[in-house]
Structure 1
Amino acid sequence: MKSDHSVVVIGGGTMGCDVAAIFYAAGWNAQIVEPAPAPRARLPESVAAAAQSIGIFGNGGSVDARSAIADIDWSKVGIVIECAPENLEIKQQIFRQLDTLAPAHVPLTSNSSGIPISQIGDQCSTRERMLGLHFFMPAHWVPAVEVIRSAFSDEAVAQTVSAIMRSVRKKPVQVKRDVPGFLANRIQHALMREAIALVDEGFASAEDVDLAVRYGFGFRYIAAGPLLQKDLAGVDIHCAAAAGIYPHLHTNTAPSPLMQNLVDNGDFGVKSASRKGFYDWDEATIAREQTRYQIALKKAMQILRDEDDGEAVATSTHTNQG
């Protein structure tokens, strides 16, 4: 993409800032709409810092923090990404504005983690250019982004958005139908339901559940997703194990008592005043764990980038020989 391209990000919170950093690092200019004055003033510095942490691989863009959608300069906008709070009414209001203000060729996307784009754009006249575009926290570190279609989405727009995401070093995951939770969150919540239930019922501690995932089957996921891994290991083995395990898995349709109690008590984890969640925290352990987490993500990202670079070289060599 040319360095004079611009992305519009609606919402200057943590997610909006990190999404803007992805484009800034690739040389795009970022216009960020954030109505609150204090966060808006910090955005240029925050976006630049996040982009620097993942590496600037374009010429470096610019950040223009705006207070309202009506202030946007649409002349060179290539895509709009809404990162507002997870509230249907707020998102619908934003998309009604974008529906009339954004030029017809500009894709309009929502970073909602669970609200279908078909609901968000329900009252809009240009629903064919609207897609879900779901990033994962931290957005500037995690490579995948889900490209979600509604029944109204134009496939050509979905392919354009996917191409844009590849150009800024993201891995677009194609979601063919608008389903609550999309792909990754449905899989993640199925795992979380069982993980929390095992702790809640006294089978294991939170620490041992995390160890089982990180140093057990989760260790393999950087090399192969669950379906590829089963092809490599043998689908028959998994099928035989599934017959014995599936009848005992939890299928409750509400959050577990353990998790609900944590929320009711205000014990959200490191961000809560109590400094409690599944674990107990203090300032030293928070700083240490956040540093370790970021280092691990950076190393994992490099593994995947090296793999992608190797595939690109192999493809180029094969094409040249052909």
Structure 2
Amino acid sequence: MTAIDTVAIVGAGLLGQGWAIVFARAGKTVRIFDARDDAEAQIRPQIVAALAEMQAAGLCDAPDDWLAQMSFAKTLGDAVGAADYVQESTFERIDVKREISAAISAVLPEHAICGSSTSGFPGSAFLDHCDNRARMLVMHPVNPPHLVPIVEIVPTPWTDPAVPVRARALMEEVGQSPVSLDREIPGFVLNRLQGALLDEAFALLAEGYASAEDIDRTVRDGLGLRWAFMGPFETIDLNAPKGLADYAERLGPMFAGFAEQRQADRDWRPEAVARADAERREALPETGLADRRNWRDAMLMAILRAKQQG
């Protein structure tokens, strides 16, 4: 398996910047390409600020060293042509993904592989026309990837079987937490799980059982505390005297009843969306969203620090 020493970042919005930090902190040479005018002048200060926040949180002891691993390429070919791995993180739109994927494929070195950041588009929707599509696949992170380590690895029907294996090894090497899917499914794993929870949350709100704040509180101060360090299967495994099968025997019928109730039409009803949005805007005006996102990232860093020490 060819070593991956040089990584190209294609598209350097917030997601691409996070990816650059992920690879730089692992000692990789990172080449960043973004099509915006004066890209480096816009992007470098944002990366510097993110590294300073990580340093303040105790998650980065050498921000200058990490920054030194990064450079900016003037053209796509300059970034990709010397890369062992390419992380594409351009705008989340199929036509944009198709165009940039074809351009990457045209200059992708023979030994290199390419992962695309996408929240739910299957790779087969935008990689089918690429000459090097066998070495291209979906690598779905959570934003920001330098603070939330999960990465979903999703092959297309024509992905070379060795490529997801190599991609997983890379993610483990750089400190991410990879999840490998055997085949494509809309939304992958993370967003399907999140979608199921959101479906139930909107239904409970629409049917008048609880407020948006109290539903949030149930997750934030209940489920989420455990989910920060264990998943749903381990959670129930520890919640019955004899483990998971015992839990399923004891409580399975109750949950089956919930599932039967959910067969009704429980879409995200417009009135529920409007009510939830109104509650959120009362609690947090739109002008406060940016500051609250910064608070979120600070909380993520505190959790990461605690998990590292635990």
Give the TM-score category using the shorter length. Answer: 0.7 to 0.9
Q: Provide the rounded CA distance (Å) in 2 between the counterparts of 1:68 and 1:277.
A: 46
In structure 1, what is the equivalent of residue 248 of structure 2? 235
Using the TM superposition, give the Cα deviation of residue 175 of structure 1 relative to its aligned residue in structure 2, in angstroms.
1.2
In the TM superposition, what is the alpha-carbon distance from 1:184 to its structure 2 partner?
0.4
Q: Do 1:8 and 1:33's aligned partners in 2 also have CA atoms closer than 8 Å?
A: yes
1:221 Cα deviation from its structure 2 partner: 0.9
User: Superposition pairs for residues 133-144 of structure 1, below 5 Å?
Assistant: 133-144=139-150
Q: Secondary structure at the match of 2:31?
A: strand
CA distance in 1, matches of 2:28, 2:290: 32
Identity across the alignment (%): 28
The answer for unaligned runs of 5 or more in structure 2 is: 240-246
Q: Shift in Å at residue 169 of structure 1?
A: 0.9
Name the CA shift for 1:47/1:24 in 2 (closer, same or farther; >3 Å): farther
Judged with a 3 Å threshold, the aligned counterparts in structure 2 of structure 1 residues 164 and 146 are, in CA distance, closer, same or farther, namely same
- Distance (Å, rounded) in 1 between the aligned partners of 2:30 and 2:264: 43
Query: How far, CA to CA, are the matches of 2:122 and 2:264 in structure 1?
Result: 23
Give the structure 1 partner of residue 116 of structure 2: 110
2:22 is aligned to 22
1:294 maps onto 2:297 in alignment = yes
**What does 1:237-256 correspond to in 2, within 5 Å?**
237-249=250-262, 252=265, 255-256=268-269
Q: 1:277 to 1:116 in 2, by over 3 A?
A: farther
Pair 1:298–1:238, CA change in 2 (3 A): farther
Give the deviation of 1:34 after TM superposition.
1.3
- 1:70/1:258 CA distance change after superposition, 3 Å: farther
Query: Aligned partner of 1:62: which letter?
Result: Q
**Alpha-carbon distance in structure 2 between the residues aligned to 1:29 and 1:295:** 27
Aligned residues: CA RMSD: 2.8
- Number of residue pairs matched by the alignment: 293
In structure 2, distance between residues paired with 1:42 and 1:285: 23
- CA shift for structure 1 position 72: 2.4
User: Greater relative contact order: 1 or 2 (C-alpha under 8 angstroms, separation 6 or more)?
Assistant: 2
Who is 1:41 aligned against? Answer: 41
Q: Could you state the TM-score of these two structures normalised by the residue count of structure 2?
A: 0.84
Establish whether residue 65 from structure 1 lines up as the match of residue 67 from structure 2: no
In 1, Cα distance between equivalents of 2:223 and 2:122: 31
Q: Which residue of 2 aligns with 1:55?
A: 60
After superposition, what is the alpha-carbon deviation per residue over 1:67-119, rounded to whole angstroms, capped at 9, x for unaligned? Answer: 531332623x1211111111111111111112221112111111011110122
1:252 Cα shift? 4.4
**Distance in structure 2 (CA, Å) of the matches to 1:83 and 1:42:** 17
- Look up the SS of the partner of 1:305 in the other structure: helix
Aligned to 2:281: 279
Aligned: 1:224 with 2:244: no
C-alpha deviation, 1:250, in angstroms? 6.4
Partner of 2:242: none
Q: How does 1:1-322 map to 2 (within 5 A)?
A: 5-52=5-52, 53=54, 54-55=59-60, 59-60=65-66, 61-72=68-79, 74-75=81-82, 77-233=83-239, 234-249=247-262, 252=265, 255-258=268-271, 261=274, 278-280=280-282, 281-282=284-285, 286=289, 289-306=292-309
Unaligned runs of 5+ in 1: 268-275, 308-322
The verdict on how the C-alpha distance between 1:261 and 1:104 changes in structure 2, with shifts beyond 3 A counting, is farther
TM-aligned CA deviation for residue 292 of structure 1: 4.0
Tell me if structure 2 keeps the 8 A contact 1:135–1:145. yes
Distance 2:16 2:272 in 1: 27
Checking the alignment, whether the CA contact within 8 Å between 2:102 and 2:130 is kept in structure 1 is yes
The one-letter code matched in structure 1 to 2:89 is C
